[in-house]
Structure 1
Amino acid sequence: MTEQSFDGRRWAIRGTGAYLPGRRVGSEDLSRAMGLDPGWIEARTGIRHRHVAAAGQAASDLAAGAARDALERAGLRPADLGLIVLGTSTPDELGPSTACRVQALIGARRAAAFDVAAACTGFVYGLQAAVGWLSTQRGGSPYALVIGVEVYSRFLNGRDRATAALFGDGASAAVVGPAPAPYGIGTVALGSDGSRAGDVLIPAGGSRAPASAGTLAGLGHTIHMDGRAVRDFIADIFPRLVAEAADAAGIKPSDLALVVPHQPNPRLVASLAADAGLDPSQLAIAGHEVGNIGAASLPYALDRAVRTRGVEPGELVLLAGFGAGLTWGHVLITWPPPTAPPRVPARHPAALAT
Structure 2
Amino acid sequence: MYARIIGTGRYLPEKVLTNKDLEQLVDTSDQWITERTGIRQRHVAAEGQTTCDLAEQAARQAMEDAGLKPGDIDLLLVGTTTPDLVFPSTACLLQHRMGMAECGAFDINAACSGFIYALSVADQYIRNGTARNVLVVGAETLTRMLDWNDRSTCVLFGDGAGAAVLTADENPGILSTHIHANGGYSDLLKVDVGVSRGFRAEARGGVSVSMKGNEVFKVAVNTLGRIVDETLAANNLEKEDLDWLIPHQANLRIIKATARKLKMSMDQVVVTVDRHGNTSAASVPMALDEALRSGAIKRGDKLLLEAFGGGFTWGAALVAY
Q: Does 1:96 align with 2:88?
A: yes
For each residue in 1:67-106, what CA deviation from the matched residue of structure 2 results, as whole angstroms up to 9, or x when unmatched?
A: 0010111111222111100011111011111100111111
Residues 13 and 177, structure 1, Cα contact 8 Å, conserved in 2: yes
Aligned partner of 2:272: which letter? A
Q: Does 1:56 align with 2:48?
A: yes
Aligned to 2:4: 12
Aligned pairs for 1:1-354 within 5 A: 9-137=1-129, 142-181=132-171, 183-211=172-200, 213-215=202-204, 217=205, 219=206, 221-335=207-321
Residues 221 and 257, structure 2, Cα contact 8 Å, conserved in 1: no
TM-score w.r.t. length of structure 1: 0.86
How many angstroms apart in 1 are the aligned matches of 2:98 and 2:29?
43
Alignment gaps of 5+ in structure 1 = 1-8, 336-354
Aligned to 1:338: none
TM-score w.r.t. length of structure 2: 0.95
Aligned residues: 321
Aligned partner of 2:11: which letter? Y
Aligned-pair distance for 1:33?
A: 2.1
Aligned-pair distance for 1:322?
A: 1.2
SS of equivalent to 2:197: coil
Inter-CA distance 86–213: structure 2 relative to 1 (3 Å threshold): closer
How many angstroms apart in 2 are the aligned matches of 1:132 and 1:113?
15
Residues 203 and 209, structure 1, Cα contact 8 Å, conserved in 2: no
How many angstroms apart in 1 are the aligned matches of 2:314 and 2:132?
27
How many angstroms apart in 2 are the aligned matches of 1:315 and 1:271?
22
How many angstroms apart in 2 are the aligned matches of 1:164 and 1:309?
33
Residues 270 and 285, structure 1, Cα contact 8 Å, conserved in 2: no
Residues 2 and 175, structure 2, Cα contact 8 Å, conserved in 1: no
How many angstroms apart in 1 are the aligned matches of 2:115 and 2:243?
20
Aligned-pair distance for 1:209?
A: 4.6
Alignment gaps of 5+ in structure 2 = none
Inter-CA distance 291–212: structure 2 relative to 1 (3 Å threshold): closer
How many angstroms apart in 1 are the aligned matches of 2:89 and 2:170?
33
Aligned-pair distance for 1:212?
A: 5.6
Aligned partner of 1:248: which letter? A
Instruction: Give the superposed CA RMSD.
Output: 1.6
SS of equivalent to 1:91: coil
Aligned partner of 1:193: which letter? N
